[in-house]
Amino acid sequence: MQISAINKFSLIEFPWEVSAIIFTPGCNFRCGYCHNSEFVLKEKLKNIYKNLILEKAFFNFLEIRKWLLTWVSICGWEPTLQKDLFDFCFKIKSLWYKVKLDTNGRDPGILKKLLENNLLDYIAMDIKHEIWSFDKIVWVKIDEKPYLESINILKNSNIDYEFRTTIIKWIHDEKIIENISKYISGAKAYYLQNYRAWNTLDPNFSWKSFTRLELEKFKNIADKYIKNVKIRN
């Protein structure tokens, strides 16, 4: 498993729970607003690959922290690109940790396999834009069928999960938020994350954040389709 960075102590992932967060290099998207181009762009990844954290060192850390941590959060840029993700999750669960996976939903096959083997306790899936319009924001041509399949897998799973959208002024609007909400209608949770302008993959990315009042309007729209809608500002 390729581990590019570790946050050894976090209270942000889950209220009242202490977690470690690991970050994996590489992503299949090229979102202009991405805050971590060093983990995405091939020309910058060369330096990351030279300084990967050894998997053995990570598991030694988990053994030592067994009575202090309860969760391990696996973030990306896109963890499902890692070929040994299944084995990695199995090893973590063998130490009695709970596992959260962040994903954009590119590989419904691995999600299904992980869920069938009870190796995940929580999934957070990004939905970048309304379905069939992902390319407006991810800046690559994709087949969106796998992403739709991943949405259905989560909605029919027995674990906790959330969908989330980073919303950006002049890219997202009320109609787009409503269309996304319709696709995930009945979901357990949907988070609207306000865009923050700093350290973007595209240095010329000039779009802006929404005001709190504007975010509340989006929430009211999503509330019609999903019971648990929250704002991350």
Q: Which residues contact 169 (CB under 8 A, 6 or more apart)?
A: 195, 207, 208, 209, 210
Residue with tokens 């990570």: 58
Sequence-separated (6 or more) residues with CB below 8 Å from residue 179: 130, 131
Give pLDDT, residue 199: 77
> Is the Cβ–Cβ distance between 50 and 103 less than 8 Å?
no
Question: Residue 184 has what pLDDT?
Answer: 97
> What pLDDT, on the 0 to 100 scale, is given for residue 42?
63
In this predicted structure, what is the pLDDT of residue 226?
98
Q: How many domains does the chain have?
A: 1
pLDDT for the residue 55: 94
**How many Cα atoms sit within 13 Å of 80 on the Cβ side?**
23
What is the structure's pLDDT at 69? 93
Q: What is the pLDDT of residue 211?
A: 95
Question: Tell me, what's the pLDDT at 44?
Answer: 60
What is the CATH classification number for the domain harbouring 30? Answer: 3.20.20.70
Torsions phi, psi for 13 (to 5 deg): -60, -45
Burial letters 138-155, b for 16+ CB under 10 A, else e: beeeeeeeebebbbebbe
Which pTM value belongs to this model? 0.92
Range of the domain at 167: 5-232
Q: Which residues of the chain have pLDDT under 50?
A: none
